[in-house]
Amino acid sequence: NAGVMQNPRHLVRRRGQEARLRCSPMKGHSHVYWYRQLPEEGLKFMVYLQKENIIDESGMPKERFSAEFPKEGPSILRIQQVVRGDSAAYFCASSLMGTVNTEAFFGQGTRLTVV
């Protein structure tokens, strides 16, 4: 049973370009969470999705950021018109039934560098 798979592992974008980060949850998991880790900072919640639904996007910037988790395929975190401040590690986690009762498993992360 493969773990949470994220790709790409590293992504370099020029300012103004778009970044697409992909996350395939563990098999059978329908709850997906995205977190951002800035240098020397803790992980900060961005968005929580279930299949085809955004449950909570309270941690996501209102502009340029969007997330989806379609019925088929991976969850996508999309950052439009990237700026230097978007440089960070983005982690995806999945759980079987939500984190109240079940463990969260994290992917290896995507390290975004904006030049």
Partner 1 sequence: KQEVTQIPAALSVPEGENLVLNCSFTDSAIYNLQWFRQDPGKGLTSLLLIQSSQREQTSGRLNASLDKSSGRSTLYIAASQPGDSATYLCAVVVSQGGSEKLVFGKGTKLTVNP
- Cα separation, 77 vs 5, in Å, equals 14
Asked if 7 touches partner 1 (CB under 8 A), the answer is no
Which phi-psi region, left, alpha or beta, contains residue 18 (left: φ > 0; alpha: ψ -120 to 50)?
beta
The answer to whether residues 36 and 28 touch, using CB atoms and an 8 Å cutoff, is no
Closest CA to 114 of 4, 34, 29, 19: 19
- Cα separation, 79 vs 19, in Å, equals 5
Nearer to partner 1, 17 or 87 (CB): 87
* Choice from 2, 71, 85, 100 touching partner 1 (CB under 8 A): 100
Asked if 41 touches partner 1 (CB under 8 A), the answer is yes
53-56 and 65-68 beta bridge pairing: unpaired
Nearer to partner 1, 25 or 107 (CB): 107
* Choice from 33, 69, 79, 94 touching partner 1 (CB under 8 A): 33
Q: Given the rule CB under 8 A, which of 18-26, 65-73, 75-83, 101-109 is the region that contacts partner 1? A: 101-109
Give me the residues that bind partner 1 (CB under 8 A), please.
4, 6, 33, 35, 40-45, 48, 55-56, 58-59, 91, 93, 98-101, 103-109, 111
